Amino acid sequence: MDTVPVVELENLKVRLGRREILHGITCRLGVSGTGKAVGLLGPNGAGKSTLILTLLGFLRPSAGRALILGRDCRRHGGEARSRIGYMPENDSFIGDMSAVTFLRQMAELSGLPPEAALEKAHEVLFHVGLGEARYRELRTYSLGMKQMAKLAQAIVHGPELVVLDEPTNGLDPAARRRMLRLVAEMKKEQGMNLIVCSHLLGDIEQVCDEVVIMKDGLIVHHCNLEEERRSNKCFVELEVTGDDGQLRAALPEIGADGVSEGGGRWRIVLPPGVEVDALWALVARQNLLVRKLTHRRDTLEEIFLKAMGHLAATPVEAAASSEAQGRPL
């Protein structure tokens, strides 16, 4: 069976009044039917909310197009929306309704028959931990309970794609862990595709397979976290004394690569499976004395800061990026 991207953007531009918010973004996110989670990151004003509202059909593109599961959001908006669940950042409840009544109505609005909608409302409320409180009015719920109720209404109709906007906002540590566990179950056990918008990088790193970073209405970085985890490269800053003229040529012995910054200072990348001990041994064979050696593995925070321009890439990373994009440094 052919697979299609969960979300496909082709030169998407969106204007609000005279101001262009999204400036012709193009990308393909996830593969339908595989249960993938895409993290959407960016500072305030980056265009994340505009992109989400466009995917939901509340904003119309001024140019280009956006497809959800192969359906054009402009030409087939109703069909696309029928396959989406949306958990908004802000509360959108009818306060004097009970949770089960609210979910039943949301399920009916999503196309379920009344009896099936009521059955699903009970089932989903128990699933998110609100079974005992399902007959209480929503205005009496705590912040954590309201977050769970918002999640419940987003999934009550069994959508193929769920958009979660700040799902752990305001939750205490225990409630946050439960929310992230539910999100992971939606992906792994129920095969739902997810777009998770959050300012908490740890949440994104924990549950997402891909990450899209936006800035000023553009996508400035798109990476596959699964590949990043598999690559698990180690970045080393090394400072030595002695004649290091042959060190660059010797690094391939351990599968490493590096660049010299002069004065005995080096930036080196170790491949997966190669530990820092191998570099120590190589340096000793070169009759060099180590003055400084620090190492780290790339984190989502560092990827985000580099995309925002707040953290410079190492010379090795910059060279690799330029080679991949076919342009000189």
Contact status, residue 157 vs residue 110, Cβ threshold 8 Å: yes
pLDDT value for 315: 42
Candidates 244, 249, 282; CA nearest to 263 is 244
CA atoms of 35 and 178, how far apart (whole Å): 19
Distance, C-alpha 226 to centroid of its chain = 11
> What are the CA-CA distances from residue 204 to residues 16, 189, 207, 282 (Å)?
29, 19, 6, 37
pLDDT value for 232: 63
Q: What is the pTM of this model?
A: 0.75
pLDDT value for 125: 97
Q: Is 242 domain-assigned?
A: yes
- SS3 for 23? strand
Question: What CATH number should be reported for the domain holding residue 104?
Answer: 3.40.50.300
Give the number of domains in the chain. 2
Q: Is 2 domain-assigned?
A: no
Q: What is the pLDDT along the chain (329 residues), one digit of tens a residue?
A: 457 888 999 999 999 999 999 999 999 987 766 788 999 999 888 999 999 999 998 899 999 999 998 888 888 878 888 889 999 999 888 889 999 999 999 999 988 999 999 999 999 999 999 999 999 999 999 999 999 999 999 999 999 999 999 999 889 999 999 999 999 999 998 889 999 998 888 899 889 989 999 999 999 989 888 777 666 677 888 999 999 999 999 999 999 888 888 899 998 888 877 888 999 999 999 999 999 998 876 667 767 777 777 544 444 444 444 433 333 33
Domain hosting 105: range is: 7-228
- SS3 for 138? helix
Which of residues 163, 196, 228 is at a domain's end?
228
Question: What CATH number should be reported for the domain holding residue 239?
Answer: 3.30.70.250
